[in-house]
Amino acid sequence: MSILVYFSSSSENTQRFIERLGMPAVRIPLNERERIQVDAPYILVVPSYGGGGTAGAVPRQVIRFLNDQHNRALIRGVIASGNRNFGEAYGRAGDVVSQKCDVPFLYRFELMGTQQDIENVRKGVSEFWQRQPQSA
């Protein structure tokens, strides 16, 4: 079974989005000393930090998670949250992860997302996994 892996800061915006999705998900811990390892292909859901460039856009906890070669090998796509107030940097973490991990950037949503975002992600994730080879 394929899952979502996500990080949510103490604001819990991404956490609330994941809860509303109602899909199997694993959270990357806030505490940087805690580590997790996944054992199935996954889509990463990541908030975007900072207000400009790529430096600092991806949370440190997510970088540490992806620096584990086992975890990195299983990523299949990325979804990013952000804040439209940051203009071109909106959802920048998705751009960074997509490029560095060579996976598709599937969707971006603002803050906690809207009901339309929830529906779009549910449908998009389902269609994405249906297109993946069985061995993935």
- Reported as a single tens digit per residue, the pLDDT across 30-46 is 987 888 999 999 999 99
Q: Mean pLDDT, to the nearest integer, of 103-114? A: 95
CA 30, distance to chain mean position in Å, is 14
Q: What is the pLDDT of residue 100?
A: 96
Question: Thinking of the domain 3-131, which architecture would CATH place it in?
Answer: 3-Layer(aba) Sandwich (3.40)
Enumerate residues 6+ apart whose C-beta is below 8 A from 47.
7, 8, 9, 13, 14, 59, 80, 81, 82, 93
Query: Rounded to the nearest 10 degrees, what angle do helices 115-131 and 13-21 cross at?
Result: 60
Using left for φ > 0, alpha for ψ between -120 and 50, and beta otherwise, residue 76 falls in alpha
Mean pLDDT of the chain: 91
Structure tokens at 124: 């998009």
Q: 39: part of which helix (H) or strand (E)?
A: none
Nearest 5°: CA angle at 27, between 117 and 120?
15
Confidence of residue 136 (pLDDT cuts 50, 70, 90): very low
Residue with tokens 């975007």: 48
Other CB atoms closer than 10 Å to residue 21's CB: what's the count? 20
pTM: 0.91
The whole-number pLDDT of residue 8 equals 94
Q: What is the pLDDT of residues 38-77, one digit of tens each?
A: 999 999 999 988 766 666 789 999 999 999 999 999 999 9
Please tell me the distance from the alpha carbon of residue 73 to that of residue 122, in angstroms, as a whole number.
23
